[in-house]
Structure 1
Amino acid sequence: MRRLRIALLLAALGVNHAQAGMFDDEEARRQIVDLRIKTEARAEQMARAQLELQALIQRQADEIAHLRGQVETLSYELETAKKRQQDFYLDLDSRLRRFETPAGSGAGATSGTAATPTVDTASEEQEYEAALGHFKAGRYKEAAAAFAAFVQKYPAGSLAPNAQYWLGNAWYAQRNCTKAIEAQSVVTTKYADNPKAADAWLAIATCQKELGNPTGAKRSLETVIHGFPGTPAAETAQQRLKK
């Protein structure tokens, strides 16, 4: 009888242990399933975030490409505008020089003493055109050197104001606003009564603005308006002040 009781007790303990083991296996499986669900959810979330990041990067790349295209377009338009302005001033320069030719330049035929100035004037014209040719061809460094040599050689010549003005433009074309202002300032002081002085003030104002000196640029434009009223340069200055 005692042995039977012990056997039953051991059997009961075995059943309980088997049930406990079974419950432990089910809990482990449940945790594995939960972990799998959480892992899958996290992976899905990361995949979705990655897709959103890729979409954001693509949008930014598209925006950058669009902006780059706008910059290139604006740069082209700016260069085109500068070229048109350059061509305009070159043409204007040629037209003005027809009226600025000294009246005595043709007097060499009447007397032997007047022959030398005629030769000098012709040489001056030739050297001026050579310097201007460098500028037209985009050889701005050579143009600056040629115009500097010209104004030094012919400081009182009829073309000296023009040459000094184009010297400033040659420096500006090389993106050297400091030297451009220095050259144009000679036009506005030494040749203050010459028509080129108004254009020189406009060029100075452009450089002052690019150098971050809007106050100085405004003063230069006002100088054009008050000092050269009724001229195309004054009209240009007024339009710039309105912007």
Structure 2
Amino acid sequence: MRALRLALVAGAVGVMFAQPARAGLFEDDEARKAIIDLRAKVQANEDAAKQRAEQLNTLVQEQLQPLRRSMLDLNGQIDALRAEVARLRGANEQLARDLSDTQRKLTDQSQAVEARFKPLEPQKVTLDGREFQVGPDERSQYEAAIGLVRRGDFAEAVAALNGFLKRYPASGYTDSVRFWLGNAQYGKRDYKDAIATFKAFVSGNADHPRTPEALLALANCQIELKDNKAARRSLDDLIKAYPGTEAAQAAKERLAALR
């Protein structure tokens, strides 16, 4: 503002000295008056400029105040969002841990249930070259009956094997049960029953791996009953149908003894 005042004074002085020579005849009081007027104008300009500056500053402050409040509100919202994100992250981590624990518990429970019910499920069995499914009780009863045969408890074995056939008529064990039933009846000296059992076994199982043994056992029963003719026929059938088997070799020896 001081520079502006000096410039205005200098300009006024320059104007005065630029007038024709007759301007120098002004009286001193007129020159002073002109200077005073000029100073008043400069002061008025300074006051007006100052007032405009103050108004502008007030306007800027009024406009900046809402912006400052908005910035404060925004910072508060940002802090709140950060806190919420942290809370959600912690909750998410807790959920992940809970889910992992739940999955582990479900796996443990599933394994426990499977272990509990597995003994009740059908089991795959391979017997005499054949594969089939049996239930746990079915298998247990069969093995118990065969155990009686092997221990020589033939009377109990016959009852157990007959009971098995009645309870499981369509079992995959049926052929094996009939074979061992015939042997138990033979061991019990129920030769007629054993003959009937072995004949039923042979007639329905020509390709069974135990059929040669069944024919040999059939002939032994017939020999015990002194029915040598039937025995020779059974031995001949064995030798012709299953040559090369151990049962066929034994049949040849028995046949030679009968003659």
| TM-score (normalizing by structure 1) | 0.50
| TM-score (normalizing by structure 2) | 0.47
Larger % of helix: which? Answer: 1
